[in-house]
Amino acid sequence: MELLAIVAHPDDADIFCGGTLAKHADRGDTVTIAHMTKGEYGGFETTEESVAATRAGEARRSGEYLGATDVTFLGFPDGRIEYSLENRLELVDTIREHTPDLILTHYRDDLHPDHRVTARLVTDAYYMASLPLVETDHDPCDPDNVYFFGKPTSSFDPSVAIDITGYEDQKAAAIAAHESQVSFLEEHGGIDGEFDNLVDGVAAEDTTLGKQTGVASAEGYVPLHEQAEEYLG
């Protein structure tokens, strides 16, 4: 099985689906993490280029903790991802390049604009990836399903909980590998105040969902097609 996680920024995959990715990699599945941006807005007192270089390096190291086969960057600008036909076709080609069975990405209801646009682009690109008359550099493919992850909100109510018991330490190490971003979020007040203790906070959320579903730790998803739930687990 091949999994493709398409995320807006370095650290998104680790926070939202790191346990699931590690679990599938441990099974021998192919796991690819594609970052829309390098997260160049996520830093203080430095240039965007410097932040991007640091965060890309951290993302590659975190991918090693999760057992990812490939960690790639799609070159979209942080904080400025736009919905357009051109960008949608780029995502179509990304999906076709990796020929995944399953795609993991952001849920449409999210405070961060990059997350919202990524969710829409990936959903529409998934629909178009199998159409033979949609021309891109790679041949059409037909992934089985898209699974959306997100922060607990009034509208994000996961119907699929993936047991990640035994993969908590890998996930924590992968998140901690984003050293510059962990520091940035802990220092950055306001809307990111919830990340005062990022690693422990994410672990607590996973434990809460786990208790609700009868396991020690879990990550939650909303599948695009309910009938294909059994593929992820």
**What are the residue ranges spanned by the domains of the chain?**
2-231
pLDDT of residue 183: 67
CATH top-level class for 2-231? Answer: alpha beta
70-73, strands of its sheet edge to edge = 70-73, 30-35, 2-7, 102-106, 145-149, 218-223, 160-163
26, amino acid identity: D
| 161, containing H or E segment | strand 160-163
At 176-217, the pLDDT tens digits run 998 777 666 666 644 444 555 778 889 999 999 999 999 999
| Percent of the chain scoring above 70 in pLDDT | 89
Q: pTM (2 decimals)? A: 0.91
